[in-house]
Homo-oligomer: A and B are copies of this chain.
Amino acid sequence: MIAAAAEILDEEGIAGLSVRAIADRAKTSTIGVYSHFGGKKGVLNALYISGFEQLGASVEDVRRENTGASHERILLAIDAYLEFEARKPRLYALMFDAQGDRFQPDPEATRAARAAFVKLVAVFLAARPDWSRVHAARIAFESWALVHGLVMLRTHQTLKQSPAAWQRTVRSAARNYLFGAMNDRINRPK
């Protein structure tokens, strides 16, 4: 049933994700959504968790498979992040919905989001083992914010860029931030 929901979300977006649509696609009646997931909110939570698990896994793949130059590793994690969003833009939008008044993830879903962030921090620590965990978490958080903000504003301002050019833009912005963060204590813009 969660596969049915994921398909509908990918194809029609959140507006098409009604309890009846899910039940129809799963070839059951609406009561199944309630008995299996406790209702629509349960479906949204399951999708949310699935999204963060996928995102975390793609970031972790980068950490495991790459032992190159430290910042290139970070940029590859960012590439993986962008690739996930490009593949599943509607799932991404659900995961980062600004309207907390509509859907608030439950504690398990919140933990999945935190776990994905921890995996992102792990990439930063692998790239920069000289950083403290606190420092790496801060830089990871701010890098994530930059990339997430770019993703959101790209859609918001309806920017037209080829995927390759977009990737270059994001990488360049991230490199600028990282460079500044590395020189944080020495040079500060006046």
Contact = CB atoms under 8 A, between A and B. Distances in A.
Interface residues of A, number: 54
A141 B161 CA distance: 14
Contact of A99 (B97, B150, B180): B97
Majority-rule SS of A interface residues: helix
A35 interface: no
Contacts of A178: 180, 189
Given A146-B145, A176-B181, A180-B177, A14 B101 contact: yes
A189 B71 contact: yes
A98 interface: yes
Interface string A155-190: 111100000000000001101111111111001111
